[in-house]
Amino acid sequence: MTDNTCLDFMLRMARASGKIALNLIADSKPSLKPDKSVLTEADTQISFFIRKSLKNFLATKEHLLIDEEDAKNMDYFNQPFLESHRYIWVIDPIDGTIQFANRMPLFGISIGLIKDLKPWLGVVYFPYLGELFYCDGHTSYFVTNAFTKNQKREILFSIDQRVTSQSIFLLHDNFFEEYGWDYSVCPVMISSCAVVDLCWPTIGRGCGSVFKAHLWDFAGAWPICQSAGLNFRSLEKGEILDRLDIRFFKQKGTVPWKLKENYILSSKRNFKFLKSKIKRVKF
């Protein structure tokens, strides 16, 4: 199985999934899952479509799928079991579901392929914006007017954006429950969409982000960020998240596959500076 074969397949799935999302955004039929997160008809249909598309891959012992909408995804929370599969597909049918349910443009489709427990290929597609980010295993790309005759592709080179008062720092939804931010550095933005927080800094739309997400929230963006010179570093210890290991995730609770710690996505140079501007809040 080659890089190009898998990547082409992932891009086709993302394009078709985008069409499903756009067809359903006007009537998303939102509901609540047991963990109180939002579920829409698009989540369900895209999940079914991708699972069906991967049927031949998943029929082999080398491949595994971890899907946000799979009620059994916690059954795979076992390191020896993960290590027994060379390829692990991880999908988030709709990331930014609340925005999607409210007909807002900041939502994306995330497809990641982990190889030998390391991030390998990734595709993140924003169908409403017509923007696409992807990594071919070596190089990452940003595409505007994606999947049209007017699409324009550019290589994502390693980025080390200097933090100034004109920068934007992206935060996850629950950041202010634990931390405070020094606004004298730069303003912040809460997009409520993990793939926005992770992909936008790779093209300079933000100097980085703080996230504490589920595996499917970042698997597609993971290799894209890495090839753009941005790593996930633990806010507390500075350790880089560079492989799939269940030790990094919560093992109990109603929300599976969620990281234990907060991470900063940034260049190596900016990590210490951004960390110094985050203060833990005492209640």
pLDDT in tens, 231-267: 999 999 999 999 999 999 987 666 679 999 999 999 9
Q: Is the pLDDT of residue 281 over 90?
A: no
Q: Is the pLDDT of residue 147 over 80?
A: yes
Q: Which domain holds residue 219?
A: 169-280
In a domain, 164, yes or no: no
Beta bridge partners of 113: 89, 121
Q: Are residues 235 and 108 in the same domain?
A: no
Q: Are residues 138 and 258 in the same domain?
A: no
Residue with tokens 């390829």: 87
In 3D space, the residue among 227, 210, 220 whose CA is nearest the CA of residue 114 turns out to be: 220
pLDDT digits (tens, 9 = 90+) for 18-60: 999 999 999 888 887 877 788 899 999 999 999 999 999 999 9
CATH number for the domain harbouring residue 200? 3.40.190.80
* pTM for the predicted model, two decimal places: 0.95
Residue 206, judged by CB atoms within 10 A of its CB (0-12, 13-18, 19+), counts as buried
Written as one string, the DSSP assignment of 145-203 is STTSTT-EEEEE----PPP-TT--EEE-TTHHHHEEE-TTT--EE--S-HHHHHHGGGG
> Which letter does DSSP use for residue 205 in this model?
S
* pLDDT for the residue numbered 59: 95
Which of 109, 124, 156 is the C-terminal boundary of a domain?
A: 156
Whether 7 and 14 have beta carbons less than 8 Å apart is answered as no
CA dist 231 and 258 (Å) reads 18
* pLDDT for the residue numbered 34: 77
Q: Are residues 190 and 122 in the same domain?
A: no
CATH number for the domain harbouring residue 137? 3.30.540.10
In a domain, 34, yes or no: yes
229 confidence band (pLDDT: 50, 70, 90): very high
Beta bridge partners of 258: 214
Helices (H), the chain: 3-24, 41-53, 55-58, 79-83, 97-101, 175-178, 194-199, 215-218, 222-227, 268-276
